[in-house]
Amino acid sequence: MVYKYDFLIIGAGVAGMSYALKVARAHKGKICMICKTSLDEANTSFAQGGVASVTNLAVDNFEKHIEDTMIAGDYISDRAAVEQVVRQAPGQIEELVNWGVNFDRKEDGQFDLHREGGHSEFRILHHADDTGAEIQRGLMEAVRNCPDIEVKENHFAVEIITQHHLGVRVTRRSPNIRCYGAYVLNPQEKVDTYLAKVTVLCTGGCGAVYLTTSNPVIATGDGIAMAYRAKATVADMEFVQFHPTVLHNPKETHPAYLITEAMRGYGGILKLPNGETFMEKYDERLSLAPRDIVARAIDKEMKIHGLDHVCLDVTHKPADETRHHFPNIYQKCLSIGIDITTDYIPVRPAAHYMCGGIKVDLNGQSSIEGLYALGECSCTGLHGGNRLASNSLIEAVVYADTAAKDSLKHVDLYDWNTQVPEWNDEGTMTNEEKVLITQSVKEVNQIMANYVGIVRSDLRLHRAWDRLDMLYEETERLFKRVHATRDICELRNIINVAYLITRWALERKECRGLHFTTDYPLHAYDK
Ligand SMILES: Cc1cc2nc3c(=O)[nH]c(=O)nc-3n(C[C@H](O)[C@H](O)[C@H](O)COP(=O)(O)OP(=O)(O)OC[C@H]3O[C@@H](n4cnc5c(N)ncnc54)[C@H](O)[C@@H]3O)c2cc1C
């Protein structure tokens, strides 16, 4: 089947839904938003902390938020992007509230603001500890009430369409690459052609590339991989943020259950399973050291002792207090036989957030004409070498706004390209052996966890490169032989993204932001 839309939005988290709602207001054409599973399954639903925005001008101001973001990003951030997000954040918070998203308020009606690591002021708007779920709920309701947005669940974008599909040779140096829409796998496992004047990638992160991640299974980096294959520019892929403590439970790795940093704030102590403490070797702030230092320390101890986890100990705290402060964590651990008032909590770091992605300008426009990228799959330059806590949800809404304005200006200049051929799967067959895919996914996860994790070295990165190369060749051969299915497409994408992370990591010859390598221990400024 061939479909025609003015706006094709791929992804329905905070980025995709905000963009859809903003564009729909203009009544300027047909809008289709697809997502690969159900509308509620997105990274957005998992966000706990909140949304950063300067709202209390009595003590806070834009300059402070800008400086905090630049420091967190290790001065790799693009100042123009930082200024745009910080200055437009309060207006976009208002937009979220008008769409029906609730943030906690104090008795006087002011927002109840939290403060998180790296922020010099209290500026985190939140909804209890499930802000992401509230944002996803509010936006889903607004989208469902908007007759101008056609939502298609269980539709999987396979490939971005460009001149390449018309038989033109497209390279990374080709000028004027143009996006004509996307090939999309429907629930009956047939690939349809979606012609679009404007295509917007809002496909989220890529935590599923790693063995353990706080991200849901959908986070396979599809948008980044599709854009890269279509020869779009990507950037900053070496900057993967790891959360230091998720619950170590081999049965639950995508997503792994997050053990909040507040537990260490409460007095939780990191220990080896034999009870020895280790943080004194790494930082005088011990278990309260910043996120990346703790993650690196745990990673090192796990490697030294050959462990698959370390432990967080709160057994010295009063049991009633622990149950009162952390009812969800208490119940979750109990469900797998761990009573945190008497037992250590097994924890390990996990891939959490991708700072890099598809390079975009201040309007969310990628290097390919007619193709925008928003949210975690994009690289706006805001995060630079490291993301400041709670800066990502707001980035998605701010860029949804600038992209909506820009694409509405340009949509009339474009037309559908009806020369685009339909998906050709002639001569392909059903893949009878799922193991060819599941085993390769496991291999990619292992390679990335062991060789391209928190602490890197050239030796390990080269090993990863060689192994990924073999998996890439095997998978491309298989992809040409079998019908397109979600699992083989996701495998292609995680291999692609794993390769990008590895290559970017090899190219950065310094320790900077989230990138830490034993071969180049100095920061560029210290050389
Ligand atoms: C545990 C956790 C806690 C977090 N806490 C915070 C926080 O407190 N504050 C903060 O600012 N950020 C936080 N983040 C990060 C933040 O949640 C994400 O960066 C943000 O939600 C990403 O939104 P998005 O719209 O870009 O993508 P997502 O919300 O991940 O949505 C992606 C969408 O793309 C669709 N999709 C993907 N691939 C395809 C495909 N091939 N075809 C069709 N559809 C596709 C999916 O189905 C989904 O609808 C947290 C993340 C996690 C995992």
Q: Where are the alpha helices (DSSP H) in 50-188?
A: 62-72, 79-98, 131-144
C-alpha to C-alpha distance for 301 and 72, rounded to whole angstroms: 25
> Is there a cis peptide before residue 255, judged by omega within 30 degrees of 0?
yes
Q: Does residue 9 sit in helix, strand or coil?
A: strand
C-alpha to C-alpha distance for 223 and 103, rounded to whole angstroms: 30
pLDDT, greater one: 338 or 430: 338
Residue 493 in contact with residue 475, Cβ under 8 Å? Answer: no
- How much of the chain exceeds pLDDT 90, in percent? 88
Ligand 1 atom at minimal distance to the Cα of residue 158: 41
- Tokens 């979220």 correspond to 96
Cβ neighbours of residue 90 closer than 8 Å, sequence gap 6 or more: 53, 54, 55
What structural domains does the chain harbor?
2-237+355-413 (3.50.50.60), 250-349 (3.90.700.10), 435-526 (1.20.58.100)
For atom 44 of ligand 1, the residue with the nearest CA is 35
Ligand 1 atom at minimal distance to the Cα of residue 52: 11
What is residue 375's DSSP assignment? G
Distance (angstroms) between ligand 1 centre and the Cα of 316 equals 36
C-alpha to C-alpha distance for 126 and 12, rounded to whole angstroms: 21
Q: Which of 137, 240, 392 to mutate to test the pocket of ligand 1 (most atoms within 8 A of CB)?
A: 392
Residues 367-391: tens digit of each pLDDT: 999 999 999 999 999 999 999 999 9
Q: Which of 8, 38, 43 to mutate to test the pocket of ligand 1 (most atoms within 8 A of CB)?
A: 43
pLDDT surpasses 90 at 287: no
- Tokens 């892929």 correspond to 237
Catalytic residue among 105, 137, 285, 291: 291
Q: Which residues pair with 312 in a beta bridge?
A: 270, 345
pLDDT, greater one: 492 or 129: 492
* Mean pLDDT score of the chain: 95
| Dihedral, 368, 372, 374, 377 alpha carbons, nearest 10 | -30
* Amino acid sitting at position 447: I
Q: From residue 341, give the alpha-carbon distance in Å to each of 3, 172, 252, 462.
A: 57, 56, 22, 44
Q: Which of 264, 266, 307, 263 is nearest to 287 (CA)?
A: 264
Give, for 23, the enclosing helix (H) or strand (E).
helix 14-24
Distance (angstroms) between ligand 1 centre and the Cα of 404 equals 19
pLDDT surpasses 90 at 292: no
* Per-residue pLDDT, 253: 85
Residues 478-515: tens digit of each pLDDT: 999 999 999 999 999 999 999 999 999 999 999 999 99
C-alpha to C-alpha distance for 439 and 65, rounded to whole angstroms: 45
What residues are in contact with ligand 1 under a 6 Å CB criterion?
10-16, 34-37, 42-44, 46-51, 131-132, 156-157, 202-205, 214-215, 218, 222, 258, 353, 375-376, 390-393, 396
C-alpha to C-alpha distance for 284 and 322, rounded to whole angstroms: 25
* Per-residue pLDDT, 293: 87
Ligand 1 atom at minimal distance to the Cα of residue 213: 53
Q: Is 291 a known active-site residue?
A: yes
**Quick one: average pLDDT of 45-64?**
93
**Quick one: average pLDDT of 199-221?**
97
pLDDT surpasses 80 at 521: yes
Reported confidence tier of residue 327, pLDDT bands at 50, 70, 90:
confident
C-alpha to C-alpha distance for 231 and 285, rounded to whole angstroms: 45
Q: What predicted TM-score, i.e. pTM, was given to this entire model?
A: 0.95
C-alpha to C-alpha distance for 125 and 93, rounded to whole angstroms: 9
**Quick one: average pLDDT of 452-460?**
95
Distance (angstroms) between ligand 1 centre and the Cα of 402 equals 19
C-alpha neighbours within 13 Å on the C-beta side of residue 215: 25
Question: For 174-178, 258-262, 265-269, which range has the lowest pLDDT when averaged over its residues?
Answer: 258-262
Sign of CA dihedral 34, 37, 40, 43: negative
Residues 295-324: tens digit of each pLDDT: 999 999 998 999 999 999 999 999 999 998
Distance (angstroms) between ligand 1 centre and the Cα of 77 equals 21
What is residue 420's DSSP assignment? P
Distance (angstroms) between ligand 1 centre and the Cα of 337 equals 30
Q: Which of 376, 379, 380, 386 to mutate to test the pocket of ligand 1 (most atoms within 8 A of CB)?
A: 376
Question: For 54-63, 102-111, 517-526, which range has the lowest pLDDT when averaged over its residues?
Answer: 517-526
Distance (angstroms) between ligand 1 centre and the Cα of 168 equals 34
**Quick one: average pLDDT of 118-125?**
92
Q: Which of 220, 312, 205 is nearest to 257 (CA)?
A: 312
* Amino acid sitting at position 336: I
- Nearest 5 degrees, angle CA 484-CA 485-CA 488? 90
* Per-residue pLDDT, 527: 63
